[in-house]
Structure 1
């Protein structure tokens, strides 16, 4: 799907988007271990430059049940740079774009549908 951040504040203070992957469990409470790598394509932004941390770059892995990781940053303006992230910023996150799920080997697998929530957090300034 589309991942979109629109910043119309006009302050050029930048922002940071993090993602945290929750526990991946089935209806019976059985859990899976592993990680997910989100990869974006078709990045469009109203700015001419991107921070090195963006959905089109090689992003850190979201560990199942692990800590939040930065998936997109927009740097604040400086004396020589107008900053990033102002206006509309979009990327498409999909399997064909390189998003992968890596599961650790499970010697006693349990069939079922497993789900995990991704918690997205948008902070008003980059870290």
Structure 2
């Protein structure tokens, strides 16, 4: 019996020593993982004299996409001339000091000469703005040849990398199925540019060159400008349907 008690006492001493050296369980300190986290560690994460209890959570918000929009396009009011000037020589008409156009059949034009494109899609895909000009006419009378020299100001853009509109010489062109047949690219925003608001204005350097036309008739002549915004940095072929 004394031998058994001695062995039992030795075993108990070894067990106590083992517990001192190797605790039965160590409380989790975090941060959590997919399989072990604060949602399934019922005792929580423990902090002691040698370690901190750590956890990680998430802050999150959603950025909803917007649209690519054409917000303003300019009317082009040109200075007046007379039959003699056009009948005897080629004539250049500068912009008029008045921004008012009369007798126009289009309703989208901005009287301040402003051109604005907004891109809030968040796709950074770029865009292209084209423009073309139909023939000048006054009733049944037409202008045989005219070219609009369109010059815009340096734009204000939210993305400083966005390129400026280019100067264009836009001749009179034919209109098929309600749309111009050969528009030109005025403003192209490459990928990763053109985001936010983009605004430019026509400048006094713009003008209309009218060829000599002895048979010109008196009247108020108007031409339609066809503006098209496309959601890609390279313009697609001209539309053949009314947008």
Q: Where do 1:37-48 residues align within 5 Å?
A: 37-48=149-160
Q: Deviations over 1:22-78 (max 9, x none)?
A: 111111233341210211125100111233xx33x4x231111252000000001xx
Give the SS at the match of 2:209: strand
> Please, which of 69, 88, 92 is the counterpart of residue 201 of structure 2?
92
Q: Does the CA contact (< 8 Å) of 1:6 and 1:87 recur in 2? A: yes
Give the SS at the match of 1:116: coil
Q: Where do 1:38-117 residues align within 5 Å?
A: 38-51=150-163, 54-55=164-165, 57=166, 59-65=167-173, 67-76=182-191, 83-94=192-203, 96=204, 98-117=205-224
2:146 alignment partner in structure 1:
34
Q: For residues 140 and 187 of structure 2, what CA distance do their matches in structure 1 show?
A: 35
Q: For residues 49 and 37 of structure 1, what CA distance do their matches in structure 2 show?
A: 26
* Larger-Rg structure: 2
Q: Does the CA contact (< 8 Å) of 2:130 and 2:185 recur in 1? A: yes
Q: For residues 116 and 50 of structure 1, what CA distance do their matches in structure 2 show?
A: 30
Q: Which has the higher strand share?
A: 1
Structure 1 segments unaligned to the other structure (5+ residues): 77-82
Q: Does the CA contact (< 8 Å) of 2:127 and 2:230 recur in 1? A: yes
2:24 alignment partner in structure 1:
none
CA root-mean-square deviation: 1.5
2:136 alignment partner in structure 1:
24
Q: For residues 119 and 12 of structure 1, what CA distance do their matches in structure 2 show?
A: 25
Q: For residues 40 and 49 of structure 1, what CA distance do their matches in structure 2 show?
A: 18
Q: For residues 119 and 7 of structure 1, what CA distance do their matches in structure 2 show?
A: 20
Which structure has the higher relative contact order (CA within 8 Å, separation 6+)?
A: 1
